[in-house]
Amino acid sequence: MSALRVVEPAARPTGTSLRRCQVLGVLNVTPDSFSDGGRFAAAAAAVARGIELVRQGADIVDVGGESTRPGAVRVDEAEESRRVIPVIHALSAAGVRVSVDTMRASVAEQALAAGAVMVNDVSGGLADPAMLPLIAAAQTRCVLMHWRAHSEVMDAFAGYHAVVEEVCLELSKRVDAALAAGVGADRIVLDPGLGFAKNAEHNWSLLAGLPALRDLGFPLLIGASRKRFLADCVDYGGLAPDNPLDRDDASSAVAALAAAGGAWGVRVHTVAPAAAAVRVASRISAAGFGGR
């Protein structure tokens, strides 16, 4: 697999290299992820999918070997490593920028050695006390997500008096922990954790509260793709709200709004519409600041 090469996109026309939101393409190397579990469980299929995501416009391919859907039971460390490390190694060798979606420091360490350029920890360093020191020592970029409990029980922790304020406070504590561990402030990305210990109302409030989240002073990653709260929007065209794939249009709409709202990145299953959205958002932003 190391012989695979990414087909480079055609050169962009002069003047289109505006600073813009990053697109993270989701690559679940799992049998049980909520929307595409099993499709890319084989390493060869996963590598081919990762390269296709880049062709569609992904800036980074986010590789995960453990489902974090509501109710998911954790896999052991050896199985998670077996799933993701060969895929990360092959994609990195093919020139793909890869992040590893893991809560385990040992898996993150192997992934970085295999060529990953970022660690996406949905627990924000809470699940494994070795994670933040590892990230600090590796001097790598990390995503710290708002998280309260593992997937088996997280729905029981979806209690908030003021969700935006509480998520901001809890993310601030994760930033403090990361800085205390030696992680550079310029290497931290925050994620409000849509769908993790949150109901639909909480998720919509967090999206509306994007300015408050940005006021934390760190880049933001928004991951709404195909999540169950988007079923609220699937009431047209004969689509099925309970089918995660039928939430793709709503997912792309959130990606567009997040990019326009100043998010650093969006994490998506269907890449091409998000790739278009972030480019349109960058054009509109540039016109608003300097195109009058």
Q: Alpha helix (H) ranges present in the chain?
A: 43-56, 77-93, 105-113, 131-138, 163-181, 200-208, 210-214, 248-260, 271-290
CA dihedral 26, 200, 67, 243 (to 10 degrees): -70
Q: How many other CB atoms are there within 10 angstroms of residue 161's CB atom? A: 6
Residue with tokens 């304020």: 165
Residue 10 tokens read as 């055609």
Catalytically annotated residue among 104, 141, 247, 267: 267
Residues 6+ apart with CB under 8 A from 13: none
| Angle at 174 (CA atoms; ends 158, 76), nearest 5 degrees | 70
Taking CA atoms, 30 is separated from 36, 39, 96, 124, 203, in Å, by 8, 8, 20, 21, 25
Catalytically annotated residue among 227, 228, 283, 292: 227
* Residue closest to 9 by CA, chosen among 39, 50, 52, 49: 52
User: Does 173 participate in catalysis according to the annotation?
Assistant: no
User: Does 198 participate in catalysis according to the annotation?
Assistant: no
71 by DSSP, 3-state: which? coil
Residue 32 tokens read as 């049980």
State the catalytic residues. Answer: 227, 267
